Amino acid sequence: MENSKNPIGLFDSGIGGTSIWKEIHSLLPGEDTIYLADSKNAPYGQRSKEEIIALSCKNTEFLLEQNSKLIVVACNTATTNAIKELREKYDVPFIGIEPAIKPAAIHTQTNAIGILATKGTLSSELFNKTVADFKGVNVVEQVGFGLVALIESGKLQSEEIRELLREYLQPMIDANIDHLVLGCSHYPYLVPQIKEILPPHVKILDSGAAVARQTKKVLESTQMLNPDANHKGNPVFYSNASPDVLNGILEDKYNIETKDF
Ligand code: DGL
């Protein structure tokens, strides 16, 4: 395809979607990527569906202006509230991210699983349809109020985060969950703190690797993989807030552009 050398675009309400970008960059190291962190408008999780759709359209248009050949919605809240509208409006393949309810519900031995996600995701029609498929399983839902704002302000290692996690996870421990689904792309960065709280047998699931595999599959089936086998993918990051937090969360030094989109 003529646009196969174009970049993969990704967006999130902030820095969380870099957890998905890392999976994509490691599975597809020859692909250029453009990551948009809409940190100025984070968190999306408390916003209305209409606002989430409008912000997702704005982000998509920015990524299309940069010639993205495919767009990864690296945000559960934007996927569960806006992907249908995005697919209807724009003529580019979209890959979304949804909480890994299905594998957790299939593999649970205690018949109880936990899900930590934003209010926007837990109240969405798409999420509730998925949960309805597993009526026999006790799905303990918890909104992660405050977590994204703390991560976005660089307080990943704070006692405030640990305190909130203890409060949110205790009812799940009481319900004897054996799987915890991380339904927000910011939360994989909290795994070390979560592991300090949960009993060691509880499996923690996120969807990052599955999104990367799906991205590869779609690029292959549409003949849009970069055909240049020697090309080393160039990652570019855009943020509309201070680049410091994004810089702190990326393990290598990358090109971060600050722009008011
Ligand atoms: N990282 C996003 C998600 O996966 C959204 C967090 C937020 O902005 O509330 O849901």
What's the whole-model pTM score? 0.96
Render pLDDT for 186-241 as a digit per residue (tens, 0 to 9). 999 999 999 999 999 999 999 999 999 999 999 999 999 999 989 999 999 999 99
Beta strands in the chain (DSSP E): 8-12, 33-37, 70-73, 94-96, 112-117, 138-143, 179-183, 203-205, 235-239, 255-258
Segment 163-186 shows an average pLDDT of: 98
Which of the two residues, 229 and 171, has the higher pLDDT score?
171
pLDDT, position 61: 98
- For ligand 1, atom 8: residue with the closest CA: 43
pLDDT, position 2: 82
Burial of 155 (0-12, 13-18, 19+ CB in 10 A): middle
Residue 43 Cβ inside 6 Å of ligand 1? The answer reads yes
Render pLDDT for 32-47 as a digit per residue (tens, 0 to 9). 999 999 999 999 999 9
Q: Are 209 and 23 in contact (CB under 8 A)?
A: yes
Closest ligand 1 atom to the C-alpha of 75?
Answer: 4
Contacts with 249 (C-beta within 8 Å, 6 or more apart), sequence order: 15, 18, 156, 189
Strand arrangement, sheet containing 179-183: 138-143, 112-117, 179-183, 203-205
Mutation to probe ligand 1, out of 11, 13, 49 (largest number of atoms < 8 A from CB):
13
Mutation to probe ligand 1, out of 47, 184, 206, 249 (largest number of atoms < 8 A from CB):
184
Closest ligand 1 atom to the C-alpha of 47?
Answer: 9
Residue 127 Cβ inside 6 Å of ligand 1? The answer reads no
Residue ranges of domains in the chain: 8-97+208-258, 101-205
Residue 56 Cβ inside 6 Å of ligand 1? The answer reads no
pLDDT, position 229: 87
Residue 186 Cβ inside 6 Å of ligand 1? The answer reads yes
Segment 236-247 shows an average pLDDT of: 93
Render pLDDT for 96-145 as a digit per residue (tens, 0 to 9). 999 999 999 999 999 999 999 999 999 999 999 999 999 999 999 999 99
Residue 184 Cβ inside 6 Å of ligand 1? The answer reads yes
Residue 42 Cβ inside 6 Å of ligand 1? The answer reads yes
**Catalytic residue set:** 75, 184
Tell me, which fold does domain 8-97+208-258 have in CATH? Answer: Rossmann fold (3.40.50)
Q: Are 92 and 64 in contact (CB under 8 A)?
A: yes
CATH class of 101-205: alpha beta
8-97+208-258 shares its CATH topology with 101-205 = yes
From the CA of 1, how far away is ligand 1's center (Å)? 33
Closest ligand 1 atom to the C-alpha of 17?
Answer: 1
From the CA of 246, how far away is ligand 1's center (Å)? 15
Q: Are 111 and 134 in contact (CB under 8 A)?
A: no
From the CA of 56, how far away is ligand 1's center (Å)? 12
